[in-house]
Amino acid sequence: MSLDRMLDHARKWAVVIDNTLETETSVIGFGSREVGELKNQSVVLKVIRREGDDEWQSGAILQAFGGDGVARVYEHGPGAVLLERLRPGNSLAEMSISGRDAEATDILAKVIEQMTISSPDALRVCPQVPTVWDWAKGFERYITTGDAQIPKQLVESAQRLYLKLCASQRKPRLLHGDLQHYNVLFDAERGWLAIDPKGVIGEVEYEIGAILRNPFERPDLFTSRNSVETRIKQLTERLHLEYERVLAWGFAQAVLSAIWVVEDGFKLDPMNPGIRLANVMQPMLPATPFNRDLT
């Protein structure tokens, strides 16, 4: 079904597919354009398998950023997008894992900086994108299931903090929604660029949450108090954000990310990076003036 949809879009957008890659959520074709200004240019055609998936609107969201800090979009439709091909296309995770986490963190800050150039206008272009308020419903859904894989106290604390953060946001804008090391790739001509957005409306402090719990392959890199403090300090100073809000969002999102794992039908590993990070961050919260205001 997904492969048929890919072939339909390839015909519609005049793309010759050389090879394909299938993932759990999508089918990706690598090839070139046959006609127009992009003739013979390398492109990537991505088709999302299931309607309603987090990336169903990724084409419209990427296009809304106008190429600022993101891969360029040539065509898009519901559940499908035609992109420029990034070469060599290696992810930022490799840099962080190899011991250059500070450098990787600075690159992520630069990408966010570039994306915020367009995001106020992008907000008007993507009216159907969910808000951080919408994502907050995950806490209540989890509580009502009676599932006990995540400690009740952790869920309730994260929910309470998340809702108060939602209510006190300033300047909500279109965000990537899953900006982290694996979704930032290197292109020899354009540098580091974001791909695969979920899209969410919220303040920029929210965008940092996914960074703090990645790269997930090496949770030992980020699940220490020193690492959390160092990363947040570096990002907030570069982007002129509030340290306390980033810390609070990071904790609440870490718990929410574990809830999403359960909702996707997986058994939660006791060593889940989100839970590990939340357990490290929770004791840091009472020390912040912001958290005292929320309690």
The secondary structure of 229-262 as a DSSP string is HHHHHHHHHHHT--HHHHHHHHHHHHHHHHHHHH
CATH superfamily, domain 2-85, is Phosphorylase Kinase; domain 1 (3.30.200.20)
> Letter for the amino acid at 138?
G
State mean pLDDT over 68-90: 95
Residue located via tokens 């963190």: 105
Question: Top-level CATH class of 91-294?
Answer: alpha beta
> Letter for the amino acid at 90?
N
* pLDDT of 38 over the 70 cut: no
- Ranges of beta strands (E only) in the chain are 15-22, 26-33, 42-48, 73-77, 80-84, 88-91, 173-175, 184-187, 191-194, 200-202
Predicted confidence at residue 121, as pLDDT, reads 57
- Would 2-85 and 91-294 be classified into the same CATH topology? no
State mean pLDDT over 98-109: 97
Predicted confidence at residue 241, as pLDDT, reads 97
Predicted confidence at residue 3, as pLDDT, reads 78
Using CB atoms within 10 Å of the CB of residue 36, give its burial: 0 to 12 exposed, 13 to 18 middle, 19+ buried. exposed
Q: What is the pLDDT of residues 249-276, one digit of tens each?
A: 999 999 999 999 999 999 998 789 999 9
Residue 38 C-alpha from the chain's centroid: 29
Both structure tokens of 204: 């920029």
Lowest mean pLDDT among 79-93, 116-130, 202-216: 116-130
Global pTM value: 0.93
Predicted confidence at residue 290, as pLDDT, reads 54
| CA trace torsion 280, 285, 287, 292 (10° rounding) | -170
Both structure tokens of 268: 């939660």
State mean pLDDT over 30-40: 80
3-state SS string for 276-290: HHHHHHHHHHHHCHH
Are the beta carbons of 69 and 114 closer than 8 angstroms?
A: yes
Using CB atoms within 10 Å of the CB of residue 1, give its burial: 0 to 12 exposed, 13 to 18 middle, 19+ buried. exposed
d(CA 30, CA 279): 41
Q: What is the pLDDT of residues 62-75, one digit of tens each?
A: 999 989 999 999 99
Question: SS3 for 224?
Answer: coil
Domain assignments of the chain as residue spans, ordered by start: 2-85, 91-294
Q: What is the pLDDT of residues 144-187, one digit of tens each?
A: 999 999 999 999 999 999 999 999 998 899 999 999 999 999 99
The total of other beta-carbon atoms located within 10 Å of residue 127's CB is 7
Helix, strand, coil abundance in the chain, percent, nearest 5: 50, 20, 30
Lowest mean pLDDT among 95-104, 221-230, 247-256, 282-291: 282-291
Percent of the chain with pLDDT over 70: 93
